[in-house]
Structure 1
Amino acid sequence: MSSTTVWTVILGLAVVTFAIKAAGPVALGGRELPPRFLGVVSLMAPALLAALVVTSALADDERWHAGADTVGVACAGVVLWRGGSVILGVVVAAVVTAVLRAL
C-alpha cells in the first residue's frame, strides 16, 4: 500500500469521524435531551467498557478462550465489586495471572 493511499484513508476517516461527532449537536440545535435518552446515554460508557474488557479477556487471535488472563480479570472484578480500589484490582489481576501462567 502506498503512502498516498494510507494518508487518503486517514483523511477520509478523519472527515467521517468529524461528521459523526457533529451530527448530534447539529440535529439537536442546542435543545436538551429528553430524560429517557439521558438514561440511555449514561449507560453506554459502562456497556462499552464491559464489552472491551470481555473481548480483551477472552479473545486470542481468531478464537475465544478462557485462560490465566481471564481468571485474573475475573478476580479483579470481584475485588472491585466488593469495594476494593482500582489499584488493588490491578495488582490482584496481575498476581493471579502471573501465578497461573507460572503453573
Structure 2
Amino acid sequence: MSKLILKRSQGPIAETPGTAKLAPGMTADDVSDMISEGIPLGRLGTTFDIGMAALYLSCEGSGSYVSGTTIVVDGAEWLYKPPMVPKEMVKELSRKVEAKSRALQPKLTSKL
C-alpha cells in the first residue's frame, strides 16, 4: 500500500472551528449562506466530503495507483473566479476591435 500524506487542500467545511472563525458572532446558518455564494457548487463542504477523499486515496481498489497529485476538496471554488469585466462589456469591446480589424484589412486588387 502506498504512503498516504494528507495536506490541507480544502474549502470551507461546515460546522468546524475554522469556519466559525471566519465570521465570529454570526450563526452557523448565516456563515454558511454568506460563504456558499462564492462556491460554484453552492454549499459548504462537509466532514464527510473530506473523509471520502481520504478514503479514496487510502483504498487499495481506488487510489492505489494515484501518486504525486493534490486532490482539492472545495466545491470547485479554486476553479471559479468572478469575471473582472461584465459579459456585455466584453461583447461590446470585442465588436469594436473586430470592426477596427476589418477596416484595416488590405484592399486586394487583381493584377490580371
TM-score normalised by the chain length of structure 2: 0.25
Which protein has the bigger helix share? 1
